[in-house]
Every structure is written in C-alpha cells, then in structure tokens.
Amino acid sequence: MDKKIKWIFFDVGSTLIDETKAYEHRIMDVIEGTDITFWQFQEKRLFYARQNKRGDLEAMEFYGLTRTPWHTEDEVPYPEASDILRYLKEKGYGIGVIANQAPGTSGRLEKWGLLKYIDVVAASAELGISKPDRRIFERALNMAGCSADEAVMIGDRLDNDIVPAKRIGMKTVWIRQGFSVHQDPGLSEEQPDHITDDLNGLRDLF
C-alpha cells in the first residue's frame, strides 16, 4: 500500500458487520402475504447484483413490494473485525467509518466492541448525506483532517464504496463479502486498487 496512507476508512454493512441474517429477515418480511418465494426473490436480487446494483431494493421494486424496516438486531460483527481493527490501529493508522446506516451507528459499534478502535464515524443518518454522494466522503476526510490521497476506502460495494472513493482520489480495497460478491468490477468505470476476500486479507496490504 502507498506509504502516504495515514487513514483507513471502512464501510459497515457486509464489511465489518455480517448482515446475512438481517437481509434474510427483511426478505421474509417483504414477501409475507404474497405468492413470491424466498428463492424467487433471491434470484431477482442476484440478477440486479450482477449489474452492480444493491439487489434487494431493485427486487422489491420489480415485484411491487413495500420496503420494510431493517433489523439491526440481526447484525453481528465478522469474527475477525475486532482483531483487524486493533492490528491497523497498532500499525499507527487513523481508523474511520463511512457508511449508510440507520441512526445510532456509534452506539452499535460500541455495543459490538469496535468503537474503541475507530476515530471518525461518518454515517448517513447523522450527516444527512448518503453514499455514493461524494460529500459524505469529503466530510469524513475533513473530520479526519486528511487529504484524499492519504486515505483508503474499504467496502463491499463497487457502486457505493469503490467508485465514489476513487473519483475523489482515495485508494480503494474491494472486500468481497456479502451479496456484493456477485458484483463485477469489469462493469465499473473505476477499478478497485486491491481486492480481498475477507478482513484478514488486509494484513497483506497494510
């Protein structure tokens, strides 16, 4: 990794936090009372994910379903999340979060035992700006007091994390976790600088 890098920013969902159960819960909620099966919805979600879209929201729109509340209680940290944050912190990096999250992001990070490693939390609910809007990345950099070329963005979404971060001059790491593993970097105008299949792979980069 570039020796200029001083700050490492993470997405939250499907990057530090495993959202598998939360997505499954939402799908069961949205199809309740319909004749749409879980696997039909998943197939449509996969169809859109392969177009580098989120997938679930587009599938809801396709089927004319109403978006239901997100179940944050189903979210759990990936097993290696705490260890990798501690490792990066001990290496001397500033650690930040840039994420589209429901209100209370810092509280949830604290509950999961991760906030003690994180210096800056730039979350959409509190800032009123959502990714991929470049302004949330710029606000996070401002909060950290660093320039774009001194920072790395790590996230699972090519469309929400990698493309906008690259556009403002940040380095990027695409972490192939969650449903976004089905996205295709060949379809993106901006390629990730590095790709890893899990958080432990960051030890080889930093």
206 residues of the chain, pLDDT tens digit each: 778 999 999 999 999 999 999 999 999 999 999 999 999 999 999 999 999 888 999 999 999 999 999 999 999 999 999 999 999 999 999 999 999 998 999 999 999 999 999 999 999 999 999 999 999 999 999 999 999 999 999 999 999 999 999 999 999 999 999 888 899 888 777 799 999 999 999 999 99
Q: Could you say which DSSP state residue 13 is in?
A: B
Domain with CATH 3.40.50.1000 in the chain: 7-19+78-204
Q: Are strands 171-175 and 120-123 parallel, antiparallel or unpaired?
A: unpaired
Instruction: Give the burial class of 13: count Cβ atoms within 10 A of its Cβ; 0-12 exposed, 13-18 middle, 19 or more buried.
Output: buried
In angstroms, the CA 171 to CA 138 distance is 14
**Predicted TM-score (pTM) above 0.85:** yes
Q: Which pLDDT score, from 0 to 100, does residue 137 have?
A: 98
Q: Which pLDDT score, from 0 to 100, does residue 66 have?
A: 94
In angstroms, the CA 176 to CA 18 distance is 12
CATH superfamily of 7-19+78-204: HAD superfamily/HAD-like (3.40.50.1000)
In angstroms, the CA 41 to CA 142 distance is 40
